[in-house]
A and B are shown apart, each in its own frame.
Chain A
């Protein structure tokens, strides 16, 4: 995690400067949508934790597939079907390399990180969680890593346990040993908090869980576009992420699972592609990963995701992390300097997410006024209502940065916040 080791210094003396060797203006030209104006102002897109914009390489890969390569996969003997199959599998290999998974069969294409988590809850979870057992999550989870486990626990009459956080928005790891009991059948937690930006010490958490024989699933939706992920080095059992937050299209996501776990799991959905043979008496399931990929998949989505991950690799995750960390430091200083602004989530290890509130002004009003300045931020509870309850705020405004954001845009945000205060003065 290169982002963690960057020195925390304020670069306000030279606001145009950025990370050496990273040409953000050149990067911006790869994203057609960023060239437009909103409400007569240049678009300042700071809602990347909700979804990221797409580089031309991704848009063109999808167009090219539909214009020249479209066919169903795994069934035709004709040229286009073979071509589509090989493109789809090439995307799987790209994902495998991106996560450094040991085996391409461990990469399952799903709709989203949410579906990846639901898949594990409904297959591994239903097979292993019994009445009286426990599933451990954390207090900073997105609803997508709370509700699937609640559904499972309700069905099995099992108990959902929650690892608490502290005032900075960091996990209370001191509480972890006593929450991991012989009854714990799964530990599900996020790599990076979407509402607070906290980067969790996932390797350490996995070690603690494994020492007690508890398997781990990580929600990597916020981590994949920003941090180097090595599933073998982490020794994580399951890892889910979404394509659309990582510069790929919506509708495609990835679930990584260790091969022996996936082999032993029952299938998720039934249908075509996931079977080897079907009679009315018995169905033989297909091999991994197809056992978990029922029905015609989002072929264009997988190809688009492959293009997105290749794009990230070309820029280099270390460079991206360094650039975004520079934005985090610069943005934190800029917003902290504004009287009345309070940043929610001040963990020592943070991704480039700044959640904030302004004294006496509701986040929804902040969002509307910033929007008129061309600035897109998210306002609300960020699908993390328990986090909002912990910090005793109904909602926050959230600026989340991506590889194409600039210090100049943070200056525009800071000016926008001054305008918000002006309206409410």
Chain B
């Protein structure tokens, strides 16, 4: 059970049950959809960009606990950040969940709870779906994102 507890941390379970910023954003000027055909996870990310700054961010959709909690905590961590800062956080987060490095844990703050994902390679896609979708929204891409 121990690596399961590592994966399903209380914070993650709590966010999956009560996701933050879970709504459509009326003021959004960027939007992207992300889809994981493997498990049917499907999220829409809404962004209000003011120049380079993420003024507001929200999401809607359905998915597993990992993908939903990741989306929820992502919105919290990138709100108020610049595009570049958000990209940087994703880069660190990606390294964390793929087990490529733990050195940035402190800088990741609360997002470090996703470290357990690295023990479950098939779940990396779940943890990164919202982030890939955010990237697409930031770049203003129109096409849908999939993690396949």
The answer to whether A372 touches B42, judged by C-beta atoms less than 8 angstroms apart, is no
Q: How far is the CA of A167 from the CA of B134 in the complex (A)?
A: 37
In the complex, chain B residues whose CB is within 8 Å of the CB of A423:
4-5, 8, 13
Interface flag for A394 (CB, 8 Å)? yes
Whether A172 sits at the interface, judged by CB under 8 Å, is no
CB distance from B120 to the nearest CB of A (A): 6
Considering residues B17, B62, B64, B66, which has the most beta carbons from chain A within 10 angstroms of its beta carbon? B64
Q: Give Cα A25 to B32, complex, Å.
A: 53
B39 touches A364 (CB 8 A): yes
- Could you tell me the distance in whole angstroms from the C-beta of B28 to the nearest C-beta in chain A? 24
A362: chain B residues at CB < 8 Å are 39, 62-65, 68
Asked whether, in the complex, the Cβ of A394 is within 8 Å of the Cβ of B38, the reply is no
Which A residues lie within 8 Å of B68 (CB)?
A: 362
A368 at the interface (CB under 8 A from B): yes
User: Chain B 121-144 against A: per-residue CB contact (8 Å), 1 yes, 0 no?
Assistant: 011001000000000000000000
Q: Is the CB of A379 within 8 A of B1?
A: no
Q: Check: B54 CB closer than 8 A to any chain A CB.
A: no
User: If the complex has contacts A364-B126, A368-B120, are A394 and B66 also in contact, measured as CB distance less than 8 A?
Assistant: no
Residues facing A in B17-40 (CB within 8 A) are 17, 37-40
Contact check, A365 vs B65: say whether CB atoms are below 8 A apart: yes
Say whether B3 faces chain A, with CB atoms less than 8 Å apart.
Answer: yes
Contact status of A372 and B4, CB under 8 A, knowing A379-B39, A380-B39, A395-B39? yes
Contacts of A363 in B (CB 8 A): 39, 64
Contacts of B17 in A (CB 8 A): 360
Q: Which residues of chain A come closer than 8 Å to B123, judged between CB atoms?
A: 364, 368
| C-alpha spacing A394/B39, complex, angstroms | 8
Taking the complex as formed, is B57 at the interface, i.e. its CB lies under 8 A from any CB of chain A?
A: no
Using A368-B123, A372-B1, A424-B13 as known contacts, say yes or no to A381 and B65 having CB atoms under 8 A apart: no
> Is A388 on the interface with B (CB-CB < 8 A)?
yes
Complex Cα distance, B40 from A395, in Å, reads: 6
Shortest distance in angstroms between A385's beta carbon and chain B's nearest beta carbon? 8
Tell me the nearest residue of chain A to B66, going by C-beta: A365
Alpha-carbon distance A152/B37, docked complex (angstroms): 24
A sample of 18 cross-chain residue pairs with beta-carbon separation below 8 angstroms, ordered by A number, consists of A361-B65, A362-B64, A364-B63, A364-B123, A364-B126, A365-B64, A365-B65, A368-B123, A369-B4, A372-B3, A372-B4, A380-B38, A380-B39, A380-B40, A388-B40, A394-B40, A395-B39, A424-B8
Q: Which 9 A-B pairs have the closest CB atoms?
A: A362-B64, A394-B40, A364-B64, A364-B39, A395-B40, A365-B65, A365-B64, A423-B8, A380-B39
Residues of chain B touching chain A, judged by Cβ–Cβ distance below 8 Å, are: 1, 3-5, 7-8, 13, 17, 37-42, 62-66, 68, 120, 122-123, 126
